[in-house]
Amino acid sequence: MELLIDDANVAEIQRIYEFYPIDGVTTNPSILAKSGRPPFEVLKEIRSILGTEPQLHVQAVAGDAEGMIEDAHCIVKELPGNTFVKIPAVPEGFKAIKQLTKEGIRTTATAIYTPLQGFLAAKSGASYAAPYINRIDNMGYDGIAVARTIHDIFQQNGLPTKLLAASFKNSQQVLELCRYGVGASTVAPAVIDGMVNNAAIDSAIRVFEADFRELTGQDSMSKL
């Protein structure tokens, strides 16, 4: 499972990218709004942190297919590299995804709440399809089950689209999809930190350090 950062806070992206095995960054208009900065200024900074190879997913904001296609052209021109254009999985979006696929522009279908949205996005040619795990849970449905069903639909129908699960609120949700072997998950920095935030882990490491210091008087093998 690929692991991406779902955020536009440049300092947080830099920190998470330095310490964790990260495949890219996803943003949406609400995430960009939180930064309070001009969108392309932030996105270019994120691209410069990542370099050209890791993925950067940026959302088109226009409401109709023609506008989404224009947004996509602008996004890939301004942000060269391994960039994906996020397009909502609605009829105007499917039309845009079909056209962009013909042009060789890679897309991530977003705002997915149901398996059939995922199916139609994949048939339209999307590279990734992003179901919103926690938002689905909050509607009283099972976000993990929806994501698994979409993953199964892709497998059973020989569709090359990958699942890009989004909207996580805890590490258990990430674990469930990792165990299922979905294509990718995009996760906010605090939830990524939560994946290894465990007092037992910290305590085990402190004991190893203390034992080594008692044995050698040193805190590093390189000082022996």
The residue ranges that bind ligand E4P (CB under 6 A) are 6, 26, 28, 110, 130, 132, 134-135, 166-167, 186
Q: Based on CB atoms, which residue is closest to ligand E4P, 90 or 212? A: 90
The contacts of residue 83 (CB under 8 Å, 6+ apart) are 47, 55, 56, 57, 58, 75, 76, 106
Distance in Å, CB of 222 to ligand E4P, minimum: 42
- Dihedral sign (CA 112, 114, 117, 118): positive
Distance in Å, CB of 130 to ligand E4P, minimum: 4
* 65-to-89, 96, 119, 150 alpha-carbon distances in Å: 11, 5, 19, 24
Q: Based on CB atoms, which residue is closest to ligand E4P, 58 or 153? A: 58
C-beta neighbour count of 223 within 10 angstroms: 8
Distance in Å, CB of 166 to ligand E4P, minimum: 3
Q: Based on CB atoms, which residue is closest to ligand E4P, 166 or 213? A: 166
Helix, strand, coil shares of the chain as percentages rounded to 5? 55, 15, 30
Identify each DSSP E strand in 60-211 by its residue range. Answer: 83-88, 107-112, 128-131, 162-165, 184-187
Q: Based on CB atoms, which residue is closest to ligand E4P, 14 or 134? A: 134
Helix (H, G, I), strand (E, B) or coil at 124: helix
Q: Based on CB atoms, which residue is closest to ligand E4P, 166 or 174? A: 166
**Annotated catalytic residue 169:** no
Distance in Å, CB of 192 to ligand E4P, minimum: 13
Contact criterion met (CB below 8 Å) for 170 and 185 = no
Distance in Å, CB of 208 to ligand E4P, minimum: 36
The contacts of residue 195 (CB under 8 Å, 6+ apart) are 171, 174
- Amino acid identity of residue 172, one-letter, is Q
- Which one of 34, 44, 77, 86 is the catalytic residue? 86
Which residues are catalytically annotated?
A: 86
